[in-house]
Amino acid sequence: DSGVTQTPKHLITATGQRVTLRCSPRSGDLSVYWYQQSLDQGLQFLIQYYNGEERAKGNILERFSAQQFPDLHSELNLSSLELGDSALYFCASSVGTSGYLDTQYFGPGTRLTVL
């Protein structure tokens, strides 16, 4: 158990809908990362938050947004869903500073299926 939790584990929805994925980082970690794992794109970085502030953006679609709350949990919002958004979405957390402790630990992922 990495200490990172994600809910829900599975999500099945229809095209055009909106969903919210939730992540709670490990105790003491300030940084949260979101990754998408799909068959054709592999593991892709979406977005990073550090202590409530957006720190970096990757290949995140405009239909997707995220935020990190004062208690450090994070939510990834996916809207106007398309079939191609079906994927495994991972959250990872780290202390957020450089050095030995800056290792990302992953949650169990949320499997999103868009029908």
Partner 1 sequence: AQTVTQSQPEMSVQEAETVTLSCTYDTSESNYYLFWYKQPPSRQMILVIRQEAYKQQNATENRFSVNFQKAAKSFSLKISDSQLGDTAMYFCAFMKHADKLIFGTGTRLQVFP
| Interaction site with partner 1 (CB under 8 A) | 2, 31, 33, 35, 42-43, 45, 48, 50, 55-56, 58, 88, 90, 92, 94, 96-100, 102-106, 108-109, 111
Instruction: Write down the least CB distance from residue 30 to partner 1, Å.
Output: 10
Instruction: Write down the least CB distance from residue 102 to partner 1, Å.
Output: 5
Residue whose CB is less far from partner 1, 82 or 102: 102
Residue whose CB is less far from partner 1, 48 or 114: 48
Residue whose CB is less far from partner 1, 12 or 43: 43
Contact 78, 63 (CB under 8 A): yes
Residue whose CB is less far from partner 1, 14 or 104: 104
Contact 59, 90 (CB under 8 A): no
Distance (Å, rounded) from C-alpha 57 to C-alpha 34? 10
Distance (Å, rounded) from C-alpha 86 to C-alpha 109? 13
Contact 24, 108 (CB under 8 A): no
Q: Any residues with CB less than 8 A from the CB of 85 and at least 6 apart, and which?
A: 78, 112, 114
Instruction: Write down the least CB distance from residue 69 to partner 1, Å.
Output: 20
